[in-house]
Structure 1
Amino acid sequence: MPIDETLAGYSNLAFKSAWIVYILVLAMLIMQYSSARKKTTERELVSVGGASTGVAGPDTPGKVAAKPTRSLPERLGNMAFAVLFVAIGLHLASIVLRGFAVHRFPLGNMYEFITMATAAAMVTGLVFMYDRRFRAMWVFLIAPVLVLMYLAGNVLYAEAAPVVPALKSFWLPIHVTIVSIGSGIFLLSGVASLLFLLRLRQPEGEESNTLIGTLARRLPDARSLDRLAYKTTIVAFPLFGAGVILGAIWAEAAWGRFWGWDPKETVSFITWVVYAAYLHARATSGWRDTKAAWINIAGFVAMLFNLFIINIVVSGLHSYAGLN
């Protein structure tokens, strides 16, 4: 079937619009993040005999109690979350429209893979960071998502087109979708571990005038960040592992062997082993704090290495997918 250029154009427009709206959300959240976490509340005491200024008393029925006032940065932070849903909606729409435009599952090249992975990271953020105490974390999640989307849209972009015959298989939507979603969730896990290590440098109750201390004070407590990293890895680890296994099954059907130590296969397996080591360390006394967090970050770095260096620089059997 011919490519629907109109839908492809709408997909690109939705992608670019999502990127711009994410920038708007990031700007509003940065304004809230950079402000001091002090709530200004206007309260006046009721004087004896019911005389008051701004607070209702028994003899002042016309007065109403003063409501707590919110600063401009706090109002912008609240507004950012409403706009965030718009950005994620546009992000998901770009994926759906791309699929309808090319009449296939939109995971045939690096552009489409990163679009799916970053969308998975943002949706996972909504699921795991709905609590207000995680609001400051959104700054650090949206920033790498914007970088990845910029690279996808400007450096790794591929025109809407059919995939090569080798990818015309029912395994494409199964294998690549699972891997891309797992990668997106790992992105959130890696950010959480990085912020956990940053938070440990500024313990609760201690003041610091350094930049790191200022950044850390506005983050959730270290225990909450560590738990977030662990919970998201628990979800992503079996997904990514299943993706590797399903990829091996697809390889057997396509190439007549389950495993050939192709660079992509090898680094994917190494990444999965590193995350397995993190989960083991997280459950081992003496390793579950900073050591486990560093292992989790190592897994995140391995995943990025696999995504960019292996796909773009190293030549392998996965080159035909438009991934290098």
Structure 2
Amino acid sequence: MSFSAQIKNELTRVRLINDCCKKAELSALLKLDGSFHILGKGKFAIHTSTENAAVARETVRLLSELFALEHEVVVRRSYLRKMNNYVVYVPSQPSLNQALNELGILDDKMIINSGIIPRIVRKDCCAVSYLRGAFLGGGSMSDPIKGYHFELNTDNEQLAYDLLSLFKRFELNAKLSFRKKNYVIYIKEGQGIVNLLAIVGAHQTLLNLEDLRIVKDMRNEVNRLVNCDTANLDKTVKAALLQLEDIAFLDEEVGLSRLPLALNEIARKRLLFPQANLRELGESCEPPLSKSAVYSRIRRIKKLAKKLGK
């Protein structure tokens, strides 16, 4: 089961008390996942199509609880994708137009409304329900192991901008793009997705996601530290090799015994501990030297080697 399907299954188990919230959720579900059929003057039919059985059951439940509309459910088998497709069809009937008006799909003039009618999401609880229904109808979430990415797809421009405003209302950092004739609302950062899941009520999925985030962050931190240590080690080794070249050159040109005592000591310590860093070199001297003192002597050796023609 995909990560998106897990979230949708959990969201369909959220039980709403108020009819206004149920209408908001159903309105979004039908807007994102529904197709409207104009059968004649003032006559409409509607159907939804989903691969998630829980979403189909939620659609049927809300239709029955709120409006007692006649409907039928057809299960179609996709042999290419080896998945079932659940179609909920609501035929034209006397009470359908009034139901669509209450859902904000038809306005008061019984004309199809492309966006979100403000009265549907006036209260915060209803706005949350609308986001939940939008997720059920047109949302998807990538596997967080691979990366953080949530998106909603719709071919309705006005609905896309209204949904974006709804995300902003709850301070969710969503963005809008246009892709393959569809408007895509997306969130690509982990904290934003966590906040979204908390708002719509996917609490179990949220806890699982947080566990994955902790493991992923720890793994990234370990990799960062290892890479940092590796880079520092490479830097130390390269610097030590250059110092050994300078020391070998001076030994051949003038002999280490003819160097000043301070330079002679540090040169022999470098030959003795070729992989040591400056702090370790300083600790090996008698008396111990600070890191800056060792660095100063190394610079003098380099300068002397350059002066002699290296």
Q: TM-score interval w.r.t. the shorter chain?
A: under 0.3
- Tell which has more relative contact order, 1 or 2 (C-alpha 8 A, sep 6+): 1
TM-score by length of 2: 0.24
TM-score by length of 1: 0.23
* Greater fraction helix: 1
* Greater fraction strand: 2
Higher Rg: 2
